[in-house]
Structure 1
Amino acid sequence: MAKKQKSFRPKARRPRGFRDRAGAEILAEQAMLRRITAVYASYGFAPLETPAFEYTDALGKFLPDVDRPNQGVFSLQDDDEQWMSLRYDLTAPLARHVAENYDGLPKPFRRYQVGTVWRNEKPGPGRFREFTQCDADTVGAPAPHADAEAIMMFADAIEAAGLSAEDVTIRVSSRKVMSGLLEAIGLDMGESGQSGTVLRAMDKYDRLGAEGVRLLLGEGRKDDSGDFTKGAGLSAGQSDAVLAFMEAASEDNAGALSAMRGVMGQSAIGAEGADELSAIAETLDALGYGARAKIDPSVVRGLDYYTGPVFEAEVTFPVTNEKGEEVVFGSVGSGGRYDDLVKRFKGTEVPAVGCSVGVSRLLTALAARGEAEAARGPVVVLALEAERMPVYHRMAADLRAQGIAAEVYLGGSGMRAQLKYADRRGASVVVIQGEDERAEGKVTVKDLDLGAKLSQTVESNEEWRAGQPAQVTVAEGEMVAAVKRALGR
């Protein structure tokens, strides 16, 4: 007798670095994105959509020097043997779009975009291979006035997302002043070796402090685990100059710029960067944004990409991590000037500046402070008599006609299971019409939220049954009004 072969059953599992999302998380993100993009639109920016795939060579700096270009990006080969990759960010597709449609676009070109991006990188806690970006960029406008506008819009977008001006500090610096510092101490920004080590050391200033950075600028530093990180090999005088530059930040932007100029000495590129930052600060002060944005030379991220002013938004309130330790939350978005990106396609420099709000980071920050939006489910109309389904559907339709999300329970279970379903759906209110209510032409509106709160204070079943403050029975014609009152609470 032939042995029966087992049918193949794939294991239900997600690829590493990807996640399923549902319900409240998606609704909260959608609501936040609506508020942020409304700010972008109020500044005159128009929406743009670009494909998820781009030709891999359009991604520029993310192309590895290997036969299969899949380092950092997810790639496949088209039927014409051209490599395509899922977009790594939203800026490279913007540069391609501008170059491809340059003659027909208004200049400056102002667009915002919300979209999914993918990164073929090692996943970790809070680090995913697929996530959403929310960008706004101006292409064709030189510094510094477009940069000042980008910072103001960035600040407004973060506030619209739910963080007040007191919750966030926008730190502003410039690749040019960083080049001026390196020039002043005898290094070249274009040399990735020693200069890159200096910049990476400077980026650790907030975490390691002056002495930790001094070690990394010199011979190196041994951490608490005993691991040794080789330093940049600067002299004591060079290290002193770098630390003086890092410590130039102050509450007074003019004072910070003066200290930075002192360290940079006669560097022409440094002076140009300081002049641009001064003009940006002047505009921000004049329009009431000066308290939210400050000149801070410790912003050193992304300097291989940016060509001028850079900025990032940092949450000021502490949060508690998984170990119960109080830590600084960190950045929730960033931006800056990148005048060389379109040049890759056009051959000529096209100035550009933009910002990107970290929606997932903002949602996490609000949740860490206990301010996450509680997305509620629809009103659920219980289905207690099968032959009355058209009536129940009419009730739900009447609610929807008044702008209230509503559904009829369709699972075929009893009342207890239906109430449990409504609770799992996050419903605030259920509508009940059983045999007794039907006979009297009435419905019962039950406020699940209020019931849950009151159940914590009522001391006995008798007291609860006597009051029933969380449900009311009304005439069928008053159902919508009763539901609105319950939702209003």
Structure 2
Amino acid sequence: MSKKDEPVRPEARLPKGLFDTPASELRATADMLATIRGVFERYGFEPLDTPAIEYTDALGKFLPDQDRPNEGVFSFKDDDEQWLSLRYDLTAPLARYVAENYQSLPKPFRRYQVGPVWRNEKPGPGRFRQFTQFDADTVGASSVAADAELCMLAADTLEALGVPRGQYVVKVSSRKLLDGFRDTIGLSSPNQYARWLTVMRALDKVDRLGIDGVGALLGPGRKDESGDFTKGAELDRASIVTLTSIFEPVDDPSEKIAQLDIRLRDSQVGQEGRAEIEVMWSLFAAAGYDDRIRIDPSVVRGLEYYTGPVFEAELTTPIKDERGVPIRLGSVVSGGRYDGLVERFTGEKVPATGLSIGVSRLLYGLKTLGKLPAESVQGPVVVLVLDRDRIADYQKMAQALRNVGIRAELYLGESGVKAQMKYADKRGSPCVVIQGGDEKGRGEVQIKDLILGATLTSIKDRDEYLKKQAEAQFAVPEADMVKAVRDVLARHRA
């Protein structure tokens, strides 16, 4: 066959912005999600699952960092020529579900959901096109007590995951405060809305770009490290100073509220936001959360659908990447009020508020801070195959172990004994079961403890070495195989 006739082989490559997840991370994620689920259940939230695909018009214009429908999402047409999209978050599908089932739902409706979401955006470090979110939402409650409860839920969740007080902070603000600043700098008219969106997106990037970077985006624009230029809001210097003043640190909540009162004295919506924050702070203080939550008007949140209080939680302990370089992880929990989302379907205002946990980001932060337990799941016991004519015998051994709850695997490859032992090592097996012709004739099996065997080379004393060697590999009657394997597993159980 000539080279021209050879089949074209696809390149084994992962699409940009996506990632594979190994077993150890999957197990750690499952443990973390179980803890989060337990906290959410204690708060009275009920589980719900919605499809990964929605009609594009149901998602609407509320897309990440975009102004118009069908941008920022992965979309395609079905057989009926209707546009469908992969969900970009779990909130828009919730709004569709509530609108569709509103009459039969309890009000308020409280639900939690975990699942993957997709963003058709430029990937980058820590920015993926697919990731998992864990949400909790209260639909049908207009009181800011519902928003305050979610902030407390965020704090309780982080502590349940092993993050102590002092190593995280929940920052709270309101979109109405920003609307007040919008009045102050003269961008409140409808024809200035696109410009105001540019302002909000600039403010939302302070954690990543710093005040100088935000100032550039509020002004003429900014060129990033790759050379791409982002056009700015083109505000004058006075307006930039007014807006960046929200980043001024003030430790005393009462002083911060008073400061907002002065700066937003001529804005009705700004005063509404200040009043909301003041009520929420009184609730935090009464519940004993005032040492974990901070008023911070710089909290913006990127999605357009937020209408009231917004918040985000971040880990405050310094975090380094795999190379030891300090990084800013950003928020691991975020959310806010979105009173207009269900109204798109029903025509009636339905108050709603929710939070979302970035599962991968939080898992990375917990792992870096040493808050995740070491991998405790051992690999399976491997039954080696020395005589391929006796596969049925070896399968019976593996099944006997499985029948008593022991993870066991029959080696199904084509390699010899030495390679099978290497395979068991790679699988993290605690021990292997061996039965060749001689053992079969004696009615025995050999049990080899791989964990103990790995320590033999470090033993210098000859008598100690021989003792451990006898413990590391020994023969037992075939009828005692299960008990012997159990003893080995018990020896290494944490």
TM-score, scaled to structure 2: 0.84
Aligned to 1:130: 130
Q: Which amino acid aligns with 1:430?
A: V
CA contact (8 A) 1:71 1:120 kept: yes
Change (3 A) 1:444 1:218: same
- How far has the Cα of 1:339 moved from its partner? 0.7
Alignment of 1:398-409 (within 5 A): 398-409=400-411
Aligned to 1:479: 484
After superposition, what is the alpha-carbon deviation per residue over 1:75-128, rounded to whole angstroms, capped at 9, x for unaligned?
Answer: 222222211112221111111111111111111111111222222222333333
Aligned to 1:234: 236
CA contact (8 A) 1:220 1:232 kept: yes
Which deviates further from its counterpart, 473-482 or 262-271?
Answer: 473-482
CA contact (8 A) 1:119 1:130 kept: yes
CA contact (8 A) 2:401 2:482 kept: no
C-alpha separation in 2, matches of 1:228 and 1:130: 24
C-alpha separation in 2, matches of 1:229 and 1:81: 36
Aligned to 1:179: 179
Change (3 A) 1:410 1:276: same
Q: Which amino acid aligns with 1:423?
A: D
Aligned to 1:273: 273
SS in 2 for 1:137: strand
Residue 378, structure 1, aligned to residue 388, structure 2: no
Alignment of 1:319-334 (within 5 A): 319-321=319-321, 324-334=324-334
5+ residue gaps, structure 1 = none
C-alpha separation in 2, matches of 1:228 and 1:106: 45
- How far has the Cα of 1:424 moved from its partner? 1.6
Change (3 A) 1:46 1:404: farther
C-alpha separation in 2, matches of 1:279 and 1:419: 65
SS in 2 for 1:468: helix
C-alpha separation in 1, matches of 2:265 and 2:240: 15
Q: How many residues align?
A: 484
Aligned to 2:417: 415
Alignment of 1:381-392 (within 5 A): 381-386=383-388, 389=391, 392=394
C-alpha separation in 1, matches of 2:370 and 2:434: 33
Change (3 A) 1:274 1:399: farther
C-alpha separation in 1, matches of 2:110 and 2:199: 35
Aligned to 1:199: 200
SS in 1 for 2:280: helix
After superposition, what is the alpha-carbon deviation per residue over 1:238-277, rounded to whole angstroms, capped at 9, x for unaligned?
Answer: 4443343321542x33332222222212422222222222
Which deviates further from its counterpart, 299-308 or 283-292?
Answer: 283-292
Q: Which amino acid aligns with 2:487?
A: A
CA contact (8 A) 2:333 2:358 kept: yes
Aligned to 1:246: 247
SS in 2 for 1:353: strand
CA contact (8 A) 1:137 1:354 kept: yes
CA contact (8 A) 2:163 2:371 kept: no
After superposition, what is the alpha-carbon deviation per residue over 1:270-328, rounded to whole angstroms, capped at 9, x for unaligned?
Answer: 22222222222232333333322211111112262211111112121222246643232
Which deviates further from its counterpart, 143-152 or 479-488?
Answer: 479-488
1:424 aligned to 423, 426, 430, which one? 426
Aligned to 1:292: 292
After superposition, what is the alpha-carbon deviation per residue over 1:433-458, rounded to whole angstroms, capped at 9, x for unaligned?
Answer: 55676677665554444554x35743
SS in 1 for 2:80: coil
5+ residue gaps, structure 2 = none
C-alpha separation in 2, matches of 1:477 and 1:26: 29
CA contact (8 A) 2:200 2:302 kept: no
Alignment of 1:54-93 (within 5 A): 54-61=54-61, 71-93=71-93
Q: Which amino acid aligns with 1:202?
A: L
After superposition, what is the alpha-carbon deviation per residue over 1:195-220, rounded to whole angstroms, capped at 9, x for unaligned?
Answer: 34443443344455556655655566
C-alpha separation in 2, matches of 1:6 and 1:205: 54
Residue 32, structure 1, aligned to residue 57, structure 2: no
- How far has the Cα of 1:155 moved from its partner? 2.5
CA contact (8 A) 1:441 1:476 kept: no
Alignment of 1:98-137 (within 5 A): 98-137=98-137
SS in 2 for 1:488: coil
Q: Which amino acid aligns with 1:88?
A: Y
Aligned to 1:360: 360
After superposition, what is the alpha-carbon deviation per residue over 1:349-400, rounded to whole angstroms, capped at 9, x for unaligned?
Answer: 1111111111111222233345554254223333445566555545544544
CA contact (8 A) 1:433 1:442 kept: yes
Change (3 A) 1:320 1:22: closer
SS in 1 for 2:193: coil
CA contact (8 A) 1:141 1:352 kept: yes
C-alpha separation in 1, matches of 2:15 and 2:222: 37
CA contact (8 A) 1:244 1:263 kept: no
Change (3 A) 1:42 1:320: same
C-alpha separation in 2, matches of 1:363 and 1:136: 18
C-alpha separation in 2, matches of 1:324 and 1:472: 41
CA contact (8 A) 2:175 2:308 kept: yes
Q: Percent identity?
A: 52
SS in 2 for 1:317: coil
C-alpha separation in 2, matches of 1:313 and 1:192: 28
C-alpha separation in 1, matches of 2:276 and 2:337: 12
Which deviates further from its counterpart, 143-152 or 124-133?
Answer: 124-133
Q: Which amino acid aligns with 1:158?
A: L
Which deviates further from its counterpart, 140-149 or 286-295?
Answer: 286-295
